[in-house]
A and B are shown apart, each in its own frame.
Chain A
Amino acid sequence: MIPAKFDYIKASSLSEAIGLLDKHGDDAKLLSGGHSLIPAMKLRLSRPEVLIDISGISGMNSISEEGDEIVIGANCTHAAIVNSDLVNNKLNILAQTAKCIGDIQVRNRGTIGGSLAHADPAADYPATVLACDANIVVEGKNGSRNIAATDFFLGIFTTALEEDEIITSIRFPKVANGNYQKFFQSASRFAVVGIAAVKEGNSVKVGVTGVAGTPYRATAVENAYIGNSDAASHAVDGVEDDLMSDHFANEEYRAHLAKVYVKKALEA
């Protein structure tokens, strides 16, 4: 299908984009790589009257090291993340995650900021930003603030972003021992289940996407891991009422896959 009619404005600065968002409210959507938004617009699941293109705003697509953190600009494409030496060396779990997204064409256009803001329950990054305890840096009309990943995802396509706020970068602590395991839906290649595990000494942080409407930290798994009991069996503790279901995988199968893939991630 083709999208509903819309106006297009290319923002030349962050402040211009924030001003436009504030002015148009929920009639407007931001455009970065467009690879979550445009498919939604073509299906008419999303019908913004105004598209604000932020892809050209300078300073939002770099990858840098700042002390103990790796800072990823919100407009960085998934491909840039996969190919970054800094990410591969000091935050390898993020490169593993980005490599699982879509296909080469999608990775060349889609951006991490766009993906996080869109908050598709089957996206890959949410598991990883949760397991890494990343901070999502946003800017709006009231200035800049950090949103902890664990406070960011509120529901299906719902985040803690205010209407006027734009993600500018994501700050990750460096991760020496992390891995991302994904069960791909064979057609769409979205995550039926996506598990990110970050190991630190004898403990682990586990982020889960695809399984529930809201991506989550599997704290029951994390606690069981320290006690050495069958940690993976706790993969869906606490989210039993929020399990996703579709033609390809129902709640029961998804819960099973979550346990299998948490086990893979813990043993990797």
Chain B
Amino acid sequence: MVTGSYMDYAMPRADDVPMIETDRTVTPCPHNPLGVKGAGEAGAIGSTPAVVNAVVDALAHLGVTDIQMPVTPQRVWKAMQN
């Protein structure tokens, strides 16, 4: 068990989060009377591959094609060495 407590699992704190500017586009779903869509999954499922792919993209010029989560500083450094 790698993250047995909050001493190892980095729970984001207020000062870890940048200022976020929000905006909206409104496109109702045509398949239900309220026009609503599920929203939580985009953050939970979509964001992780986006971030990992960004790391791989940043290291691509060094020949890195893949990196395993958790993408710790040590893993990034190791990937850069190989």
Q: Is the CB of B77 within 8 A of A248?
A: no
Report the minimal beta-carbon distance from B29 to chain A, rounded to whole angstroms: 38
How many angstroms between the C-alpha atoms of A186 and B10 in the bound complex? 6
How many angstroms between the C-alpha atoms of A186 and B73 in the bound complex? 10
How many angstroms between the C-alpha atoms of A247 and B72 in the bound complex? 10
Q: Is the CB of A253 within 8 A of B10?
A: no
Cβ-based interface call for B7 (8 A): yes
B contact residues around A248 at 8 Å (CB)? 8, 72, 74
Chain A proximity mask over B2-13: 1 for CB below 8 Å, otherwise 0: 110011111101
Q: Is the CB of B74 within 8 A of A187?
A: no
Interface residue count on the B side (C-beta < 8 Å): 14
Q: Is the CB of A247 within 8 A of B8?
A: yes
How many angstroms between the C-alpha atoms of A103 and B15 in the bound complex? 11
Q: Is the CB of A256 within 8 A of B77?
A: yes
Report the minimal beta-carbon distance from B3 to chain A, rounded to whole angstroms: 8
Chain A binding site: helix, strand, loop or mixed by DSSP? Answer: loop
How many residue pairs, one in A and one in B, have C-beta atoms under 8 Å apart? 25
Report the minimal beta-carbon distance from A191 to chain B, rounded to whole angstroms: 13
Q: Is the CB of B77 within 8 A of A187?
A: no
Cβ-based interface call for A250 (8 A): yes
Please provide the chain B residues from 1 to 40 with a CB less than 8 Å away from any CB of chain A in the complex.
Answer: 2-3, 6-11, 13
Cβ-based interface call for A148 (8 A): no
Of A103, A186, A188, most buried by chain B (CB within 10 Å of CB) is A186
How many angstroms between the C-alpha atoms of A249 and B74 in the bound complex? 6
A contact residues around B13 at 8 Å (CB)? 103
* 21 A-B contact pairs sorted by A residue (CB < 8 Å): A103-B13, A186-B10, A187-B6, A187-B8, A187-B9, A187-B10, A187-B11, A188-B8, A247-B2, A247-B8, A248-B8, A248-B72, A248-B74, A249-B73, A249-B74, A250-B74, A253-B73, A253-B74, A253-B77, A253-B78, A256-B77
